[in-house]
Amino acid sequence: MLVTLGKRWPAAVMNSLMNQFQPGAVPHYFTMKTMGGLASSNGLAIVPLLKDVLARVLPVLGAIRQDNIRWVFASGMARFSEAILNYVANNPNDKAITIDTFASEMFPPYEVMFSNWTKSSEKSVRLATMQAVGHMCALMSREQFESQVPKIIPQILNMYKKEAPLDHLPITLVREHSISLLDDGIYIVTLSR
């Protein structure tokens, strides 16, 4: 219901959701899920508001212990990243919002999620995290990304061995984003699911 309302009144809905996501406190599962859904359904209106959301996400990531909350945060981060990538691809004249605008906000959550959540015993958390990591890689600076390549490649190969073939799509997203970095530092954004 809130996602549908957010198509028409995105700022009002996001403001209400932000009131439910107090700084330093892990929000309710459906608060984060709705924020992710809103980013997917109305990215043009939501992307300009994501800096505030990401400022609240980072401080709580390390405190999340329940798998269902990890899953919803990983899914939300994937939706936020997709929305940013779509926004930048479809609004090349908007110089206020670029991939570089979000590079500093994406790297710290990436580190927490990649270092801890990809090792989860829960398969859904591992796969949602790898999907988020795949999209987040496309938002990193060249230096950040290059520093992570030696960690990303073994993790991708390890997950290919561990997960069933039907679960390879999120892992493949990471691989596609990882190889999309060109020598001149320009990203080719791959948004296929």
As a whole number of angstroms, the distance between CA 182 and CA 186 comes to 6
Q: Kindly report the pTM of this predicted structure.
A: 0.83
Tell me the domain boundaries of the chain. 2-179
- Contacts of residue 186, Cβ cutoff 8 Å, sequence gap at least 6: none
What confidence tens digit (pLDDT) does each residue in 153-190 have? 888 778 777 766 555 455 455 555 554 543 445 444 34
Which amino acid, residue 182? L
Q: How many CB atoms lie within 10 A of CB 66?
A: 12
What confidence tens digit (pLDDT) does each residue in 99-141 have? 889 988 999 999 999 999 988 989 899 989 988 998 898 899 8
Q: Across residues 74-103, what is the average pLDDT?
A: 92
Of residues 188 and 4, more confidently modeled: 4
As a whole number of angstroms, the distance between CA 189 and CA 92 comes to 13
As a whole number of angstroms, the distance between CA 69 and CA 27 comes to 9
3-state secondary structure of 91: coil
